[in-house]
Amino acid sequence: LSELEALMERMKRLQEDKEDEEASQEEMATRFEKEKKESLLVISGGICAFPVPFTFDDEIVSTDVSRYIEDPGFGYKDFARRGEDHLPTFRAQDYTWENHGFSLVNRLYSDIGHLLDEKFRMVYNLTYNTMATHEDVDTTTLRRALFNYVHCMYGIRYDDYDYGEVNQLLERSLKVYIKTVTCYPERTTKRMYDSYWRQFKHSEKVHVNLLLMEARMQAELLYALRAITRHLT
């Protein structure tokens, strides 16, 4: 099977398995922890051969971004310390954008919550109902896997989501691309862009970029707004 046909087959199989039997809460929690730990090993350019969390300082940045920032050492850091077994988890049910973040950000800056929410929803729901040359395809499962994988990399877990879907739908090259774009965007190359979903249209792959960046923004907002909420209370 081609890359496209294999992906569509996995999507179909996931839907059938979901209808037949749902995973238990314990199984879903285990799958999340596994995916979260594995995401720490994903680095730009490949999968790390050793279980060592990758940080911004571990690799020389080839692109000169110093003129755009005041602190050249500022950048993404994995949420786990080196060698740490119990990684911190942000349970989305305890602090969600819809139920908590939206109302707080509106209090802090009038109407900005409505604008952000509209942007999140528009990008998340954007679809042509196509996958390359195939039409009338429901891409909800795939879009949800992309969005939730970004949040997983930031330690955010949705109790009602089966993270086994992430592992089945997102192949290695795509996971490398996702982490690079969301965590080290200055390292993104055309070669990496071309290495995944080679049969897809550029418009579909650009939508992936939009989805990744909105997921990252929402993850960062959740952490920031939760901290503000704790401070206010």
Let me know: does 108 contact 102? Beta carbons within 8 Å: no
Tell whether the model's pLDDT for residue 80 goes beyond 80: no
Alpha-carbon distances, residue 57 vs 72, 74, 136, 192 (angstroms) = 10, 9, 45, 21
pLDDT in tens, 95-142: 999 999 999 999 999 899 999 999 999 999 999 999 999 999 999 999
Question: What pLDDT score does 51 carry?
Answer: 32
Question: What pLDDT score does 124 carry?
Answer: 96
Tell which wins on pLDDT, 83 or 40. Answer: 40
- Whole-number Å distance between alpha carbons of 215 and 192: 20
- Whole-number Å distance between alpha carbons of 26 and 63: 43
Residues 16-41: what's their mean pLDDT?
Answer: 84
pLDDT in tens, 134-165: 999 999 999 999 999 999 999 999 999 999 99
Backbone angles phi, psi at 205, to 5 degrees: -75, -30
